[in-house]
Amino acid sequence: MEKLEQLYEGKAKKVFKTDDPEVLMVDYKDDATAFNGEKKGTIQSKGIINNRVTNHLMKMLEDQGIPTHLIKEISDRETLVKKVTIVPLEVIIRNVAAGSFSKRYGVEEGKELLAPTLEFSLKNDDLGDPLINSYHVLALGLATQEEIDTIAKYAFKVNEILKKYLLDLGIKLIDFKLEFGKTSDGTIVLADEISPDTCRFWDKDTNEKLDKDRFRRDMGGVENAYEEIMKRLMGETV
Ligand code: UDP
């Protein structure tokens, strides 16, 4: 498979065309941003860790019945994925109050929620990814009711699978963000990434943060946290 011209450069990844029109190549960077791009930095080897952790988790989810865009990892930072049209929603699932949820609703960070929650944000950096509900999604034509239902069903199923898998590795899944895409035949598949950039992971026993909050909140030990996640999930270090 040949890597052709760059299609797009995002905050954490570059996306390239390949010689197959249905296949794209993703290239993970070490660049880190937070607060809608206001805070910028680098997390050494993050691209390698996020590429490998994402693919590891996507493979596991695919085996358990969640369709994903993953085709094949081809190097430390590069992966072939199905070409999809991204549904412009950030799909956030939460098990424990943290971050913007804690702030918005005045709930102490760390409080276990009585049921997992799902929220949508509109994927639009210029608007700061505003919260949006399913009526808005329909009104704006961003997805059909059937697509919204499929996305919610997959997102909650991903949560159940990941929560259990991670807990066995001593990691509490606090919350995470998913993105979904539509293939050329209209099938909804899980896309983007699942990594310490997009999930909150806390150590089961100490509640130590093992995710991007260490970068967002200047806590130090950022690289070590990403490494620790890869070690626990894959038994490997960079
Ligand atoms: N998240 C993300 N990208 C975003 C916003 C949130 O990956 O643009 C993830 C974030 O890492 C966390 C979850 O979604 O695991 C919930 O984030 P929250 O809404 O609390 O926002 P934050 O406090 O990070 O601004």
Question: What is the number of structural domains in the chain?
Answer: 2
Same-domain status, 105 and 182 = yes
Same-domain status, 28 and 59 = yes
**Residue among 188, 15, 11, 173 at smallest CA distance from 85:** 188
| Ligand 1 site, residue 101, Cβ cutoff 6 A | yes
Residue minimizing CA distance to atom 21 of ligand 1: 100
In a domain, 182, yes or no: yes
In a domain, 156, yes or no: yes
Give the SS3 label for residue 39.
Answer: strand
Residue minimizing CA distance to atom 3 of ligand 1: 198
Same-domain status, 91 and 32 = no
> Which tokens go with 187?
């099938």
Angstrom distances, CA of residue 229 to CA of 62, 146, 214: 20, 35, 13
pTM of the predicted protein model: 0.97
Phi-psi map region of 81: left, alpha, beta (phi>0 left; psi -120 to 50 alpha): beta
- Residue carrying the six token digits 């620790």: 228
| Ligand 1 site, residue 180, Cβ cutoff 6 A | no
Same-domain status, 13 and 108 = no
Mark which of 25, 58, 82 sits at the end of a domain. 82
Same-domain status, 35 and 129 = no
CA 103 from chain center: how many Å?
21
In a domain, 68, yes or no: yes
| Residue ranges making up the domain that contains 9 | 3-82
In a domain, 227, yes or no: no
Give the SS3 label for residue 87.
Answer: coil
pLDDT by 10s per residue, the chain, length 238: 899 999 999 999 999 999 999 999 999 999 999 999 999 999 999 999 999 999 999 999 999 999 999 999 999 999 999 999 999 999 999 999 999 999 999 999 999 999 999 999 999 999 999 999 999 999 999 999 999 999 999 999 999 999 999 999 999 999 999 999 999 999 999 999 999 999 999 999 999 999 999 999 999 999 999 999 999 999 999 9
* Ligand 1 centroid to residue 178 C-alpha, Å: 10
Same-domain status, 8 and 115 = no
In a domain, 212, yes or no: yes
Same-domain status, 75 and 170 = no
Same-domain status, 91 and 78 = no
Same-domain status, 112 and 216 = yes
**Residue among 198, 204, 229, 234 at smallest CA distance from 216:** 198
Same-domain status, 204 and 129 = yes
* Ligand 1 centroid to residue 179 C-alpha, Å: 12
* Ligand 1 centroid to residue 46 C-alpha, Å: 17
Same-domain status, 92 and 205 = yes
In a domain, 226, yes or no: no
The CATH number given to whatever domain includes residue 54 is 3.30.200.20
Same-domain status, 70 and 152 = no
Mark which of 82, 110, 134 sits at the end of a domain. 82
The CATH number given to whatever domain includes residue 180 is 3.30.470.20
| Ligand 1 site, residue 193, Cβ cutoff 6 A | no
In a domain, 229, yes or no: no
